Amino acid sequence: MRLEPIAQPSLARRLVPPALALLGAFLVASVLALIAGGNPLAVFGAIVKGAVGSKFALLETLNRATPLIFTGLAVAVAFRAKLWNIGAEAQLYAGAVVTAVLGTGVLPWPPALLLPAIALTAMLAGALLLLVPALLKTRLGVDEVVTTLLLNYIFLLFVSYLLEGPLKDPMGMGWPKSARLIAEARLPRIVEGLRLHWGFALALLSAVALWIVNARTTLGFEMRAVGQNAEAARFAGMPVTGVVLKTALLSGGLAALAGFSEVSGLKGSLTLDLSPGYGYTGIVVAMLALLHPLGVVAAALFVAAIFVGADAMSRALGVPSYIADIMLASALLMMVLAILLTKFRVVRD
């Protein structure tokens, strides 16, 4: 077989494969639910009900989507420039560490000053963390996939050290957790009484901001050009190395905001289980969104709904909640194939 580009893909050509990919992911999950002794319809029903079936469930989904929007944006902006940042997990924790350090009383500032200061410092930490692999890539040609992956392990061990050493809460009953943030360092709730904090709004704002950067600025144009063809971009006189480094700073900063938002908005302190792999799930989110910033919001909501729903389903029906991870991973693989098939047709030799 070989692939042949389609000059003018029809509407059906552009819509059917992605739809089939999502359907395929549900099919995979159905078979697995059957194997675990669950009725697929009951399983999906319980997932939907658990994700959006009540005010509590809906708020939980929005809360879960918040860090995923940030990490999804971080991955999307990097992948668009073909900078393979798989280290959003570490960058998230970098933001979280900064929040736990600066938010516990060292800066006696009012919230209006303190929160932006923490957020910007968190972004800086995440940005610098990705700058290292980006520099290794541009200077020495070291593949950033492996270095960012390895940095995830290194940074998590560093956080573990901090939580058992310098950052350990003396009131924590021996648990490795940081001291609670002061009230001034907490992101307030959007509506009093509803368990949803301003981190969610910040995530939406970041998505719109990135969309504007992508669509309306020189940097956005350069990032896409470098991603599509670095050689051509270089030939056209673009500072390719500089663009890659700027992309890295942007991506690392966005991922760090996930850590800031989780600690400041949701948890109030730093623990080693702050993120159940939000950095990695961000890859799925970004790919499902076709790397579009606004698509990231939709994909993050979808992914969060599946995770929150699967947790509730698992408690009710006993089918392991890992079914959500399988569904998303298979959706990712089938979606990249589907996108290819919207532009190419398979020809038999």
Partner 1 sequence: MDIFEILTSAAFWAAAIRIASPLIFATMGELICERAGVLNLGIEGIMVAGAFAGWIAVYMGLPLWGGVAVAFATGMMLGALHGLLSVPFGLSQHVVGIGLTLLATSLTFYTYRVVLPEVSSPPKITAFQPYPIPGLSEIPGLGSAFFTQTPLTYAAFALVALVAFVLYRTPLGLAVRAAGESPAAVAAQGLSVTAIRMGAVIVGSGFMAVGGAFLTLSAFDSFFFDMVNGRGWICIALVVFGAWKPGKAMLGAILFAAFDALQIRLQQTPIGALVPYQLFLMMPYLLSILALVLMSRRAEVPAALMVPFNKGER
Interaction site with partner 1 (CB under 8 A):
1-3, 32, 35-36, 84, 86, 136, 140-143, 145-147, 149-151, 153-154, 157-158, 160-161, 164-165, 280, 283-284, 287, 318, 320, 322-323, 325-326, 328-330, 332-333, 336-337, 340, 349
Which residue, 216 or 345, has its beta carbon nearer to partner 1? 345
Which residue, 117 or 333, has its beta carbon nearer to partner 1? 333
Q: How far is the CB of 59 from partner 1 (least distance, A)?
A: 26
Q: How far is the CB of 200 from partner 1 (least distance, A)?
A: 25
Q: Is the Cβ–Cβ distance between 283 and 148 less than 8 Å?
A: no
Which residue, 189 or 343, has its beta carbon nearer to partner 1? 343
Tokens representing residue 102 in the block: 């600066």
Q: How far is the CB of 7 from partner 1 (least distance, A)?
A: 16
Which residue, 31 or 194, has its beta carbon nearer to partner 1? 31
Q: Provide the 10 A C-beta neighbour count for residue 194.
A: 11
Residue 3's SS3 state is: strand
What does the alpha-carbon distance between residue 310 and residue 316 come to, in Å, rounded to a whole number? 10
5 strand-pairing partners: 344
Residue 334's SS3 state is: helix
Helices (H), ranges, 184-288:
198-216, 218-228, 230-235, 240-261, 278-288
Helix or strand holding residue 261 (H, E): helix 240-261
Q: How far is the CB of 116 from partner 1 (least distance, A)?
A: 32
Tokens representing residue 130 in the block: 């990705």
Residue 197's SS3 state is: strand
Q: How far is the CB of 300 from partner 1 (least distance, A)?
A: 16
Q: How far is the CB of 275 from partner 1 (least distance, A)?
A: 15
